[in-house]
Structure formats: C-alpha cells, structure tokens
C-alpha cells in the first residue's frame, strides 16, 4: 500500500547564493502492506515527521520514489496530491488542527462539502460516523468546548469521512492524557480490524509504537530496523 525507495531529503539553510544543505532523511526504504499498522518511533529531530509529510505529499523528497495505493506519486504537484489525498489518504494531526469557528459537525463534514457531496448525503454520512466514534452528542460544540480526547476523535472522523484506505497519524497522542491515549489506541486498533485500514503512525512513545504489526525506528534520518509483522491483539 505504501512503498518508499531510497528516499533522501535535505533542507536548505542560509541566504540565497550561500545556502547549505542539512540532510534530514538518508536512503529510506519502507514498505507498509495493505491492512497493516506500521509505527515509526524516533526522537525529536530524527526525521520521522518529515518522512510522514513526504508520504502525505506535503513535502517533495530530494530524491527517491514514492508509490502509494499502486500509483507512483513521486512527481505529483500540489493539485495532484490534493486530489490524491481526497481519494486515498486521511491525515490525523498532533494538535488536531480543527477549524475553531466551525462546530464539530462542520469540521467532520468539511471534506464532503469540498468534494461537492449533496447536503442530504453529507448529513447522513457525517452523523453516522460521529455516532460510530462516540461524538454525535457533541455535534453542535465548537473545538474550544471539547476535551482533548473529543477533539482528537473529531480529527479522526474528519480524516475518515471520505473513506480513505490509508490513515497517516503524526504524534496522535501527544496532547492526550493517559486515559484518553488508551482509548485512542483502542479506537485505532478497532478501525484497523473492522475497516482494514492501513495506518502509518509517527510517535516518540513506546506504548503507541507497540500497537503496530510492524514497528520501525528512525535515528538521524536512517531507518534502523523493520520488524517482522505480528498478529494484532484483539481489543475488547
């Protein structure tokens, strides 16, 4: 489902004409199969978030190739990536990135609005998904009126509303307390089991990393290991 080959990336620092390149990713090869949960653990500055942003098309790598859902996306421009994400990739951000002037319902519904889905269909799909994730009672609440755990569920619902086969999550429990973190991890495992979602989760937390069928570690821009897939424990 996700295949990266020899991904390199460097940021340019300094004034134009006297710039220097700072390597961030070094020869990354990564394969995530359909229906797998892959977790990528690393310290701050290790390159893990940059890698996730490359997989999601927010950053173009300096070199290497990207294949997602059977399509070579390496040379995609911004417009192509935006269209591709709508059809194939949902993103869950660390700080939720909900629109504060919109209610929870409107935040979840937004991708359907941008896609041009009919209002009656939008309402049905949005309410059904919010009910499934246990946030239907908060439809009329604004983000500032929700707890961290509730905001995270709204963020997940927004990522899922177009029914993408792939979910990318960037430090998804970084703003949650231990109780909400546990509930969130159980939710991700349930979604993976029930909907066969493919998940790539970036984290610095061993507990989060432990839910992966495939647990990866990145240090100084290099992928150190790619563990053999394991069976996912059933969460009751």
pLDDT above 60 (res 49):
yes
Expressed as residue numbers, the domain containing 35 is 2-226
8 Å CB contact between 132 and 55: no
Q: Kindly state whether residue 172 falls inside one of the protein's structural domains.
A: yes
Q: What pLDDT shows up at residue 30?
A: 94
> How many degrees, rounded to 5, is the angle at CA 21 between CA 11 and CA 29?
65
Q: Kindly state whether residue 105 falls inside one of the protein's structural domains.
A: yes
CA distances from 235 to 38, 182, 183, 185, 211 (A): 17, 11, 10, 10, 11
Q: Kindly state whether residue 233 falls inside one of the protein's structural domains.
A: no
The CA distance from 118 to 149, in Å, is: 30
pLDDT digits (tens, 9 = 90+) for 67-108: 999 999 999 999 999 999 989 999 998 788 899 999 999 999
> How many degrees, rounded to 5, is the angle at CA 91 between CA 86 and CA 94?
155
pLDDT above 90 (res 3):
yes
The CA distance from 36 to 203, in Å, is: 16
Q: What is the CATH number of the domain that holds 89?
A: 3.40.50.300
Q: Kindly state whether residue 236 falls inside one of the protein's structural domains.
A: no
The count of structural domains within the chain is: 1
Q: How much is the average pLDDT of 46-72?
A: 94
The band of 228, judged by pLDDT with boundaries at 50, 70 and 90, is very low
Q: What pLDDT shows up at residue 225?
A: 64
Q: Kindly state whether residue 234 falls inside one of the protein's structural domains.
A: no
The pTM of the full predicted model, rounded to 2 decimals, is 0.86
pLDDT above 90 (res 130):
yes
Q: Kindly state whether residue 235 falls inside one of the protein's structural domains.
A: no
Q: Kindly state whether residue 231 falls inside one of the protein's structural domains.
A: no
pLDDT digits (tens, 9 = 90+) for 161-202: 999 999 999 988 887 788 888 888 898 899 899 889 999 999
pLDDT above 50 (res 140):
yes
The CA distance from 226 to 49, in Å, is: 18
Q: Kindly state whether residue 217 falls inside one of the protein's structural domains.
A: yes
């Amino acid at each position: 489902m996700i295949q990266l080959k020899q991904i390199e990336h460097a940021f340019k620092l300094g004034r134009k004409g006297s710039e220097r390149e700072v390597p961030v990713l070094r020869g990354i090869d990564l394969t995530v199969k359909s229906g797998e949960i892959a977790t990528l653990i690393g310290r701050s500055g290790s390159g893990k978030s940059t890698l996730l942003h490359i997989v999601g098309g927010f950053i173009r790598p300096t070199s290497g190739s990207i294949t997602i859902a059977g399509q070579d996306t390496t040379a995609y421009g911004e417009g192509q990536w935006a269209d591709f994400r709508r059809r194939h990739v949902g993103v869950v951000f660390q700080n939720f990135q909900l629109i504060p002037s919109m209610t929870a319902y409107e935040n979840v519904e937004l991708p359907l609005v941008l896609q041009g889905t009919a209002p009656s269909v939008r309402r049905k799909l949005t309410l059904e998904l919010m009910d499934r994730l246990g946030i239907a009672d908060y439809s009329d609440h604004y983000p500032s009126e929700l707890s961290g755990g509730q905001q995270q569920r709204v963020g997940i619902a927004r990522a899922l509303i177009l029914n993408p086969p792939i979910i990318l999550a960037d430090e998804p429990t970084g703003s949650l307390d231990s109780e909400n973190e546990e509930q969130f991890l159980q939710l991700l495992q349930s979604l993976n089991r029930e909907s066969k979602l493919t998940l790539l989760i970036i984290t610095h937390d061993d507990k989060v990393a432990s839910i992966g069928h495939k647990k990866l570690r990145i240090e100084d821009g290099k992928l150190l290991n790619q563990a053999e897939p394991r069976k996912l424990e059933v969460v009751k």
